Amino acid sequence: MKKAPCAELAELRSAFVDGALNNTDRERLLSHLVDCVDCRRDIEDLRAVRELLNQTKAQPGPTPTDLSVRLVSIAGQDSYAPLWTRPFRRPPSSRARTTGGLPSRRRTVKLRIAAAAMAVGATITAMGVVGYAAAPSLAAISDPTSEAQAAFSSSVGQFPLASDSLNAVMLADSNPLSTGPRSIEPSPRLDVPTAPSGQTMTAAEARATMQRAADAAHSISYSGRQSFLAYRNGVTIVAQIDVETRAGQGSQIVVNSPTGRQLLNEFTPSLLSSRVVNDELLTLLERNYRVAGIRGSSVAGRTATVVTATRDSQPAARWWIDDATGLVLWQETYGKNGSVELSFGFSSVAVSRANSILEHLPPRLAVPRTNTSLTLSSAADLAAAGWSCPRKLAGLSLVRLRSDRVGNPETVHMVYSDGLATVSVVEQSGRLAAAPQGSAWDATLGAYVRRGASTVATWQSGDVVFTLVTDGNSGVLADAVASLPHGGAETPTTLGRIKAGWSRILADVKG
């Protein structure tokens, strides 16, 4: 028994045969046809039917002259009367009871009003049919988490103090990296000098040190071994990373599990951010935290300065910054009680001036579809169009706004940050077809959640699928998810579908 073709793509297959698909839908269908024999067979059948109909139309039929003559003879003198006079004609018995051959003036007005109403009704019906047929069908979204994580990694990679290695761990499968609840302590235990053994820095000097680190993030060539340790939702995540970076080119990154199993071996190109962007995010960090520095520490045999971000008298994060190059050698983030949540950095490192081309082959780290940058002022326009684009989310500020295209987008990507924690939100027009792989339903959050080095939450609200990714703690996740819409999936009404169809038609006319 032959398998039926995919029902959700029926309209796209028919439009493909008619040559009426736009570029986006055409690429989507062609990608699907590569692996679906049943849909390819259905397209062949549609083409065969179309060719048969075209051949039938091309063959001239007989002219029914005899039938025309017979019909005229049956109609008699009425065959010569225009059709528009039919409402005014009466049968002979009726004429005998009237004083004239034409109806009264009132009846004429009624008939004209009825005819006008019928014309208006026919026009409205035609417009409704056209709008209904032109309404876009919602795409079935099977698993948006990979796309959302790629968008998150790409955005965070352009932040000051960004680490390509840290982003790679966020993308790797965290299951082989997970161990028991807080079963491992950070190693090495890094020292934080205290006066008078260290040398306290002024706020301006601490900011200059952070700015130097931001400038060095993608301008220093180095290679080394890095350790990653994170505590996420009662689970310890451990990884070892080998990294080789060439300034201005990118990084070749290998992520290994604690047992030595290779989980990821990919190349990520250098993502350079502007000095203006770095200043903006560093200002955001200073606005939300008190930043201070002290000299006199060391990491991997290199002297370093420690910069600490503090909130409510508790350290929120620390960075150990190489005195010689400005490279971030180690970083840690802390929970509200001061316990370590993330500890990541070099166990060994060699800084070089190598400028040769870094040899690499695909695959590369995933590149998101939302590659069209928008100004933050576009958030109001997107909100007016039905997208959820708050300027603040869980106390974090909107710092990035992207979409898959400038006009009438189908995917919107927002990035929020306070200079330390980051939340990435991807909104896609469509229907969530199934639970994302590796996720579990969290009734408290009202979302499918996948936990790892970064946490991913996915849910449906109306006709939009939300996918949120964060490197923040569980409180940041809960606040961010709760701040976004959670309406049920809407069943489209006929009127709604007609309006959507005409909106699409008008958008295409405007170009």
Same domain, 33 and 105: no
CATH of the domain at 223: 2.50.20
Same domain for 314 and 182? yes
Based on the domain organization, do 179 and 286 belong to the same domain? yes
DSSP letters spanning 212-252: HHHHHTTT-EEEEEEEEEEEETTEEEEEEEEEEEETTTEEE
Q: pTM above 0.75?
A: no
Please report the pLDDT score of residue 387 as a whole number.
93
pLDDT at site 79: 59
Angstrom distance (rounded) from CA 426 to CA 335 = 26
Q: Kindly compute the dihedral angle of the four CA atoms of residues 167, 452, 363, 350, in this order, to the nearest 10 degrees.
A: 40
Number of domains within the chain: 4
Does residue 360 fall inside a structural domain? no
* pLDDT at position 373: 85
Give the pLDDT of the chain (511 residues) as one tens digit per residue. 456 778 888 888 888 888 888 888 888 888 888 888 888 888 888 888 888 877 765 565 555 556 566 666 666 666 556 554 555 555 555 444 444 445 567 777 788 888 888 887 788 887 777 766 666 566 788 889 888 888 888 777 767 777 888 888 877 777 787 776 666 777 677 888 876 667 889 888 999 999 899 888 778 889 999 999 988 777 888 999 999 988 878 888 999 988 889 988 888 777 655 555 567 888 888 899 999 999 999 999 999 999 999 998 899 999 999 999 999 999 999 988 888 889 999 999 999 866 665 555 444 445 567 778 889 999 999 999 889 999 999 999 999 999 988 888 999 999 999 988 899 999 999 999 899 988 999 999 999 999 888 899 999 999 899 999 998 888 899 999 999 999 875 555 677 667 766 776 776 666 5
Shared domain for 314 and 176, answered yes or no, is yes
CATH of the domain at 53: 1.10.10
**454: containing domain:** 140-146+367-510
For helices 164-171 and 145-156, give the axis angle rounded to 10 degrees: 170
Residues 44, 89, single domain; the answer is no
CA–CA separation, 437 and 467 (whole Å): 13
Would you state the pLDDT for residue 504? Answer: 66
Together in a domain, 440 and 478: yes
CA–CA–CA angle 172, 277, 302 (5° rounding)? 60
C-alpha closest to that of 439 among 177, 255, 174, 139? 174
